[in-house]
Structure 1
Amino acid sequence: MTLARPHFLPTEAQALELVAQPLTREAFAAFGDVIESGQRPPLSINAGMTARHHDLAHVDLGPEGGRALVNIFETQPYALPLRVAMLERHPLGSQAFVPMDGSSFLVVVAPAGDTVCVEDVRAFVTDGRQGVNYARGVWHHPLVVTQRVANFVVVDRGGAGHNCDEIHLPDGVRLLVS
């Protein structure tokens, strides 16, 4: 797969401040899935001892094949306001983040594509019991926690092919998240 070199589109505003909105399935739908247990009634399994919250995200391994990787990320906290200088995308598969310790985190995203328009960047804040699954190709900031070191289960694609592109904001453009 040959991809065009990603770039930010110019913006008239030299500084853009994003206020993180509460994360909801509806608001996040263009970027992927919200992973939370309240989406639908659970299935009762294991002789009634377990409630299975089933099929909460579309794990996309891409048309070229690959395998699912299950990882644990230990993430250091950022200070707010966060200055966004870079976004990344995974063109060959989805990437999911689920907090292991109830940590709330910020989600900074932009639509999939070979360009990123600064005005299209969105920010969400989770409630500590929600995870996200970024759809293949969706631009996102690396994991952002603000209160303490936090651990996350991360499910993404392993296998052949280049699966991480980075894009940097041009000089003079400031994107702040609070």
Structure 2
Amino acid sequence: MNPATATAADLVTLRVEPLTRAAFAPFGDVIEAAAAASHYAINAGTTTRFHDLAAIDTSREGGRPVLSLFRAQPRELPFTVTMLERHPLGSQAFVPLSQRPYLVVVAEDPAAVPRAFLARDGQGVNYRPGTWHYPLLALEQTSDFLVIDRAGPGNNCDEVELSAAYRIVAAAI
């Protein structure tokens, strides 16, 4: 089947799951205060540091960490997923700067049925190197994300068209 010409009858509907550390573990880290390896007071007790929230991995083949801002336009539901991408040489972390929900779509490989997660206020994600995922899916309004990923030599973005098309009907859980 050609995903670009799929009819509604051809589409597989993905169930949207809550984004939890346990459910997302095969793909990377959920970035939230509850995921901290430790937390402690700093700055004379006026600030709490939630430490070591994600395994940032950017040093493969001479890479270095780079900090960027992504401004994502909102997507309308229902939405059809027909492709995935991965970054084999480094992790990629997304930390929302707004309090809006967004969707995270990941798969073990391009032949597997993807999983869709709803990220709530205060939740970011860090994809492990090589994790297949759909690009950023903001909901409701234009949303900014702080992104930590890899810069450097080598091809660090693979894209693949899926053999099936997957539909996300609603983000409500």
State the TM-score bracket (shorter-chain normalisation): 0.7 to 0.9
Q: 1:143 is matched with which residue: 136, 139, 147? A: 136
Matched, 1:161 2:154: yes
Q: For the residues of structure 1 that align with 2:76 and 2:112, how far apart are their CA atoms?
A: 21
TM-score using structure 2 length? 0.88
Percent of residue pairs bearing the same amino acid type = 49
Instruction: Please report the TM-score for the alignment, with normalisation by the length of structure 1.
Output: 0.85
- The Cα shift of 1:65 comes to 2.8
Q: How does 1:86-165 map to 2 (within 5 A)?
A: 86-111=83-108, 115-119=109-113, 121-165=114-158
CA RMSD of aligned residues (A): 1.5
Give the Å deviation of 1:145.
1.1
Residue 84 of structure 1 aligns with an amino acid whose one-letter code is V
In 1, Cα distance between equivalents of 2:60 and 2:104: 26
1:103 and 1:129 in contact (8 A); partners too: no
**1:86 and 1:168 in contact (8 A); partners too:** yes
What's the secondary structure of 1:27's corresponding residue?
A: helix
Question: What does residue 11 of structure 2 align with?
Answer: 15
Structure 2: distance between partners of 1:21 and 1:99: 18
**Which runs of 4 or more aligned residues in structure 1 lie more than 2 Å from their structure 2 counterparts after TM superposition?**
none
Does the alignment pair 1:49 with 2:49?
Answer: no
CA distance in 2, matches of 1:162, 1:127: 32
Larger % of strand: which? Answer: 2
5+ residue gaps in structure 1? 1-12
8 Å contact kept, 2:100–2:139 = no
1:8 is matched with: none
Structure 2, unpaired ranges of 5+: 1-8
The whole-number CA distance in structure 1 between the counterparts of 2:141 and 2:107 is 26
Q: Say which is worse superposed, 32-41 or 22-31, in terms of deviation.
A: 32-41
